């Protein structure tokens, strides 16, 4: 619920879907609303797929993470992450966000402050920046 609640258009999508009149007399306004709903239906499917992927990874981590994923600190990370997820322009960035959340649930290698920083970087930078960092990391002296 924290993930869905942090994506601003979800509530609007549900309200618009519920308000579609049953008759076809509304014409042009209905066409625009239908196109808007179709676009957001696609985004909702992407959100569902991401949540399923995160859920699957968490299921593999076992029941020991339940306390962590229900903690207020983790839910704050979820809200920040899904706001960044919603703004992401590519599937890669959405996957980075999902991985950060899954890893933050299962391991305590770094603090929540560092995870927040990672999420901010994912939100701020383009994938090309990450590709450059990856190249430099994998091939020291490549600059």
Long-range CB contact pairs, 73-77, < 8 A, 24+: 73/112, 74/104, 74/105, 74/112, 75/2, 76/112, 77/101, 77/104, 77/112, 77/115, 77/116, 77/119
User: If 0-12 CB within 10 Å is exposed, 13-18 middle and 19+ buried, where does residue 65 land?
Assistant: middle
Query: pLDDT tens digits, the chain, 143 residues: what are they?
Result: 556 666 666 666 556 666 655 545 555 556 766 777 777 788 888 888 888 888 888 888 888 888 888 899 999 999 999 999 999 989 999 999 999 999 898 887 889 999 999 999 999 999 899 999 999 999 988 87
pTM of the model: 0.69
């Amino acid at each position: 619920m924290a993930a869905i609640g942090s994506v601003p258009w979800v509530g609007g999508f549900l309200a618009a879907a519920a308000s579609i009149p049953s008759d076809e007399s509304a014409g042009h306004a209905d066409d625009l609303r239908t196109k808007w709903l179709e676009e957001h239906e696609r985004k909702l499917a992407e959100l569902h797929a991401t949540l399923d992927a995160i859920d699957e990874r968490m299921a593999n981590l076992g029941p020991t993470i339940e306390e962590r994923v229900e903690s207020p600190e983790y839910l704050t990370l979820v809200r920040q992450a899904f706001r960044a997820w919603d703004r992401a322009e590519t599937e890669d960035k959405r996957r980075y966000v999902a991985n950060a959340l899954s890893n933050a649930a299962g391991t305590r290698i770094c603090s929540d402050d560092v995870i927040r920083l990672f999420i901010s970087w994912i939100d701020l930078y383009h994938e090309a920046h990450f590709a450059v960092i990856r190249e430099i990391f994998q091939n020291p002296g490549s600059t």
